Amino acid sequence: MEEMIKDRAIAILAILTLMLFVFNIGSCSNAYRQKVARDKEMAQRLDLEEKMGKFNQEKSSLSDKLKAKEKELEEEKVVCEATKKALAQEQLVGQSLKDELQKVTKLKEALEENLKEALVANKKSKK
């Protein structure tokens, strides 16, 4: 009977050992899968951080370029305003020259009329 109890105890211990061995293998397998998943996630995070760093550098570069272009635009606006003012002044000068030309033309026509009248009067007085 003692042998039977020993055999049973050995069988129970063998089954228990087998169950613990299977549980240990499952646990190791699960730990390996978790390690692989964690490594994969870490690689993804590193890639994302690297991409974010590149993105931030590009953003900074584009921001600097934008500031430079805005500055150029402001300078162009100043030049454009100065050109508009100069054009307006030139138009005023042109208009005043036209007015002067019209006055001179009227005076010339009046002088020509006076000259014609004087010539006619001179011819009449000679006759």
pLDDT digits (tens, 9 = 90+) for 22-68: 999 999 999 999 999 999 999 999 999 999 999 999 999 999 999 99
pLDDT digits (tens, 9 = 90+) for 101-110: 999 999 999 9
| CA of residue 63 relative to chain centroid, distance | 7
Examine the pLDDT at 120 and tell me if it is beyond 90. Answer: no
pLDDT of 1 reads 79
What region, left, alpha or beta, does residue 82 occupy, with left being phi > 0 and alpha being psi -120 to 50 degrees?
alpha
Q: For residues 97 and 10, what is the distance between their CA atoms, to the nearest angstrom? A: 126
| CA of residue 50 relative to chain centroid, distance | 22
pLDDT of 125 reads 79
pLDDT of 127 reads 64
Q: For residues 28 and 36, what is the distance between their CA atoms, to the nearest angstrom? A: 12
pLDDT of 122 reads 81
